[in-house]
């Protein structure tokens, strides 16, 4: 029996989507779906829910929950990762509240920025523990990473952990339909090309019947910017730098130094920026989970329709050798020629029985590569901090972050990092 292991299976709704998809995929029939999570109650919830779907779908997959991570991984052919280290309380709260004391505001704080740096620092040691187990009990497994910060964690698992890893993010899949819907344009038949880094990849081409659609996209975007809407940051970036970016405006507001500024508070309203957005989402999800939990677990006739998540389609392609195209996060092995070779990039990839094969992109437009590099600088210094255990590299990562460095002095950035290290306590390793 082949095995798919889901780490972080207590993310019940996401596990339902991904593993529900697996159960509806004939090429994956008969696989064992191995569930692991450090939260025993959430693990039981996911096991029950997936068994409900198994019954209604007629799947012959086997669902098994494990209390031992290494045993969950043993013999796995595919490993899906969806963990969050530290959760909302205490770690997400810490990531937002301490920077706020220094006057540094954030929206999501899960990619770069000061919140992204510390989410990385507490997650990397856990991920490298996974890598050790994988090397021992399932060394040929493909590791499908859904956990943020995507670029750094995928990079670490590949370059340090030695695991066959691809990072999967929804932003590439949804950005073009979202853009065309918001502008009232027809999406069917549109050919696109997207590349860059995670959460800051670029819609490089949008054509239909050989016609470049960007002039019309920009014409409509200029009109749309005359009234307030929920994608104003991305439209502003496109009109200034020439290309639409994959991830949402609330994310990109904190990836650049232009939008969240203490000395220009009017920008928050002008660009409709939702400060502290991620904590609000966490609170709403926590409140809503109990009622959702009861309705999901009590529904013995729970049905599932295959979602747009990449994972099942990728595994199907590897099992059947029928190619499937994704936007994947992989190491930059000469794929984007004007970004650092040490970086993790997001590029079109072909998936088949040979695994995941990234495609060559070449040079990005110079202004886009320059924007990407501002984020890559912080990513690579964060990895350096985690691998060497040197506190000074945490400072370097924060000092090079575009938003943080635009708002705070060197002394305040260093002091804020010290406060965050102290507040995280045992969630972080010791730094020298």
Interior angle at CA 322, CA 321 and CA 328, nearest 5: 90
Tokens of 428: 């972080």
Catalytic site residue 170?
Answer: yes
Q: Which of 170, 178, 229, 396 is catalytic?
A: 170
**Residues contacting 5, CB < 8 A, separation 6+:** 34, 36, 72, 73, 76, 78, 79, 80, 138, 141
Scanning the structure block, which residue is given the tokens 């886009």? 368
**Residues contacting 291, CB < 8 A, separation 6+:** none
Active site (catalytic) residues:
170
């Amino acid at each position: 029996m082949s095995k798919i292991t889901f780490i972080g299976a207590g993310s019940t709704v996401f596990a339902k989507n991904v593993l529900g998809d697996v159960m509806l995929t004939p090429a994956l029939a008969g696989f064992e779906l191995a569930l692991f999570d450090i939260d025993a109650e959430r693990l039981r919830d996911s096991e029950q829910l997936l068994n409900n779907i198994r019954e209604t779908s007629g799947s012959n997959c086997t669902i098994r929950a494990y209390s031992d991570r290494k045993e969950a991984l043993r013999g796995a052919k595919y490993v899906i990762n969806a963990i969050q280290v530290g959760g909302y309380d205490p770690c997400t709260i810490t990531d937002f509240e301490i920077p706020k004391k220094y006057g540094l505001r954030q929206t999501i704080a899960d990619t770069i920025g000061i919140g992204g740096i510390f989410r990385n620092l507490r997650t990397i040691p856990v991920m490298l523990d996974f890598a050790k187990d994988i090397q021992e009990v399932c060394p040929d497994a493909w590791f499908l990473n859904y956990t943020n910060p995507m670029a750094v964690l995928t990079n670490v698992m590949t370059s340090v952990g030695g695991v066959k890893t691809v990072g999967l993010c929804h932003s590439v899949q949804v950005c073009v339909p979202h853009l065309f819907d918001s502008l009232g344009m027809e999406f069917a038949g549109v050919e696109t090309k997207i590349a860059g880094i995670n959460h800051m990849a670029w819609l490089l081409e949008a054509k239909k019947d050989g016609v470049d659609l960007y002039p019309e996209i920009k014409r409509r975007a200029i009109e749309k910017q005359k009234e307030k809407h929920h994608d104003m940051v991305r439209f502003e970036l496109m009109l200034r730098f020439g290309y639409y970016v994959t991830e949402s405006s609330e994310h990109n507001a904190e990836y650049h130094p232009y939008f969240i500024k203490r000395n220009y508070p009017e920008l928050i309203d002008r660009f409709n920026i939702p400060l502290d957005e991620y904590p609000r989402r966490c609170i709403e999800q926590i409140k809503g989970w109990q009622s959702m939990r009861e309705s999901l677990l009590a529904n013995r006739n729970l049905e599932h329709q295959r979602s747009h998540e990449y994972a099942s389609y990728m595994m199907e392609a590897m099992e059947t050798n029928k190619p499937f195209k994704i936007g994947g996060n992989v190491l930059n092995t000469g794929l984007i020629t004007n970004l650092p070779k040490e970086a993790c990039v997001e590029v079109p990839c072909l998936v088949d029985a040979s695994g995941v094969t990234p495609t060559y992109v070449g040079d990005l437009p110079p202004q886009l590569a320059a924007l990407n590099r501002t984020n890559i600088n912080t990513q690579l210094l964060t990895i350096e901090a985690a691998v060497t255990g040197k506190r000074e590299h945490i400072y370097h990562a924060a000092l090079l972050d575009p938003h943080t460095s635009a708002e705070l002095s060197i002394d305040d950035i260093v002091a804020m990092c010290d406060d965050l290290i102290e507040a995280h306590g045992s969630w972080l390793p010791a730094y020298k």
